């Protein structure tokens, strides 16, 4: 690839005559980088009137380079960007605002036109550095949501070539997006308890891969009628314990009142039994009634009644 590029370049230089007698520079840049490319021949700018920057691939550099202008300087002072991703300074330096995949492996040709000496220029081959994917969490790795709410998980994505990114829930693939250049996210509306668990974000390109794991806890809404849910939710278990407490206290108080009634009835029964016994005693010993005992008087009266 590199050798073929060089051959084509040499062919290009020779075929275009003596207009380009400059060396070829090769630079390696990072994807999305802001980069300045100097036009090496513009070091002596004294007589340079016009500067043009062209971007072409090996396929179209030979014939169409002059149709692929990206920026130029006109009449020494006037700087014009033909492509919004580029700018140029009066010293001939090209500004690449953001290095994009479209720039990878391209030749950036600078051509200068001097007032009296004809033309010159330089060529720079831009290569974008290959980087394995990197996922940067942009939302918490541990998520607590309540059933019915929406769930969002976000991650920044780096790496070149742009990786493909998948999201999985407990090993079930949910989405696969290719050519992810900056950001990835997973949105789940109206979550249910079954949506809890592990979510895996996986990014892969030709040079590597990276994994990010999110833990999701979905709290079921405390529904009074469904006891199963009540037991699961920690907030409802103390209330159920309280319920049991109040229930038991009410039963004990009810029991005590019942016991009171029992005692009262027993006392009454005993009194009646005692009176009856005394009565019988009184009947058996008719004339020997102790005067001190009022009960015996009662007995006497009772005897008259009987
Ligand atoms: C050209 O000018 C720009 C802006 O003034 C500057 O950043 C850059 O370093 C200059 N380049 C050269 C080769 O002097
Ligand atoms: C995701 O898609 C890419 C192509 O777009 C494919 O190469 C890759 O195998 C897919 N990944 C999964 C896990 O299906
Ligand atoms: C959320 O999901 C539940 C159960 O699947 C459903 O009954 C309810 O209507 C959904 N709510 C919304 C706003 O989609």
pLDDT tens track for 234-252: 333 333 333 333 333 333 3
Q: Whose CA is nearest to atom 11 of ligand 2?
A: 176
With the C-alpha atoms ordered 230, 236, 238, 242, is the resulting torsion angle positive or negative? negative
* Secondary structure element (H or E) that encloses residue 154, with its range: strand 151-160
Cβ(59)–Cβ(158) below 8 Å: no
Query: In the numeric block, which tokens belong to residue 70?
Result: 């990206």
pTM of the model: 0.66
283 or 128: which leads in pLDDT = 128
Looking at ligand 3, which atom is closest to the CA of residue 190? 1
Note the pLDDT of residue 259: 61
Minimum mean pLDDT among 134-138, 192-196, 287-291: which range? 287-291
Of the residues 163, 173, 178, 204, which should be mutated to test ligand 2's pocket, given the most ligand atoms within 8 Å of the CB?
Answer: 178
User: For residue 29, what are the contacts with CB-CB under 8 A and spacing of at least 6?
Assistant: 35, 96, 99, 126, 127, 128, 129
Note the pLDDT of residue 284: 64
Note the pLDDT of residue 229: 40
163 C-alpha to ligand 1 centroid (Å)? 34
* Dihedral over alpha carbons 140, 145, 151, 157 (to 10 degrees): 10
Computed over every residue of the chain, the mean pLDDT equals 77
User: For residue 214, what are the contacts with CB-CB under 8 A and spacing of at least 6?
Assistant: 137, 139, 141, 142, 143, 153, 198, 199, 200, 201
- Ligand with an atom nearest the CA of residue 37: 1
Tell which residue, 151, 152, 183, has the closest CA to residue 165.
Answer: 183
Cβ(142)–Cβ(215) below 8 Å: yes
DSSP 34: -
The yes-or-no verdict on residue 10 having pLDDT over 60 is: no
Sheet holding 197-205, edge to edge: 142-146, 208-219, 197-205, 164-169, 172-177
* Angle (CA) 101 105 107, round 5°: 115
Sheet holding 183-188, edge to edge: 131-137, 151-160, 183-188
Query: In the numeric block, which tokens belong to residue 4?
Result: 């073929």
User: For residue 33, what are the contacts with CB-CB under 8 A and spacing of at least 6?
Assistant: 96, 98, 99
> Measured between alpha carbons, how far is 65 from 58 in angstroms, rounded to an integer?
10
DSSP calls for 88-143: E-TTS-EEESS--GGGTT-EEEEEEEETTTEEEEEEEEEEEPPEEEEEEESS-SEE
Note the pLDDT of residue 290: 53
With the C-alpha atoms ordered 153, 154, 157, 163, is the resulting torsion angle positive or negative? positive
Summarised one tens digit per residue, pLDDT across range 176-212 is: 999 999 999 999 999 999 999 999 999 999 999 999 9
- Ligand with an atom nearest the CA of residue 87: 1
Residue 89 near ligand 1, beta carbon < 6 Å: yes
Q: Whose CA is nearest to atom 8 of ligand 1?
A: 93
> Measured between alpha carbons, how far is 103 from 96 in angstroms, rounded to an integer?
10
User: For residue 26, what are the contacts with CB-CB under 8 A and spacing of at least 6?
Assistant: 124, 125, 127
Q: What is the mean pLDDT of residues 112-137?
A: 89
Minimum mean pLDDT among 4-8, 146-150, 273-277: which range? 4-8
> Measured between alpha carbons, how far is 74 from 210 in angstroms, rounded to an integer?
48
Note the pLDDT of residue 193: 94
Residue 190 near ligand 3, beta carbon < 6 Å: yes
> Measured between alpha carbons, how far is 170 from 161 in angstroms, rounded to an integer?
28
Residue 16 near ligand 1, beta carbon < 6 Å: no
User: pLDDT class for 58, splitting at 50, 70, 90?
Assistant: confident
The yes-or-no verdict on residue 130 having pLDDT over 90 is: yes
């Amino acid at each position: 690839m590199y050798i073929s590029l060089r051959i084509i370049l040499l062919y290009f230089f020779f075929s275009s005559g003596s207009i380009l007698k400059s060396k070829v520079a090769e630079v390696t840049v990072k994807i999305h980088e802001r980069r300045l490319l100097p036009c090496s021949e513009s070091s002596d700018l004294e007589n340079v009137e016009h500067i043009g920057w062209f971007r072409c691939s090996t396929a179209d550099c030979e014939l169409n380079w002059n149709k692929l202008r990206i920026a130029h300087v006109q009449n020494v002072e006037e700087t014009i960007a033909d492509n919004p991703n580029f700018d140029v300074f009066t010293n001939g330096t090209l500004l690449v605002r953001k290095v994009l995949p479209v720039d990878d492996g391209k030749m950036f040709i600078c051509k200068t036109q001097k007032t009296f000496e004809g033309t010159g220029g330089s060529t720079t081959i831009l290569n974008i550095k290959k980087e394995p994917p990197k996922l940067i969490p942009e939302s918490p790795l541990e998520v607590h949501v309540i059933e019915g709410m929406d769930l969002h998980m976000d991650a920044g994505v780096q790496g070149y070539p742009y990786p493909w990114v998948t999201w999985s829930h407990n090993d079930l693939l949910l989405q696969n997006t290719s050519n992810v250049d900056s950001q990835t996210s997973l949105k789940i509306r109206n979550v249910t308890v079954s949506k809890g668990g592990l979510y895996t974000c996986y990014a892969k390109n030709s040079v590597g891969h990276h994994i990010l794991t999110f833990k999701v806890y979905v709290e079921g809404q405390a529904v009074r009628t469904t006891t199963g849910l009540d037991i699961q939710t920690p907030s409802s278990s103390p209330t159920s314990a309280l319920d049991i407490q109040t229930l038991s206290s009410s039963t004990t108080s009810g029991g005590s009142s019942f016991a009171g009634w029992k005692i009262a009835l027993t006392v009454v029964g005993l009194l009646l039994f005692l009176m009856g016994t005394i009565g019988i005693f009184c009947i058996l010993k008719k004339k020997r009634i102790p005067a001190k005992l009022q009960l015996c008087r009662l007995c006497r009266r009772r005897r008259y009644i009987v």
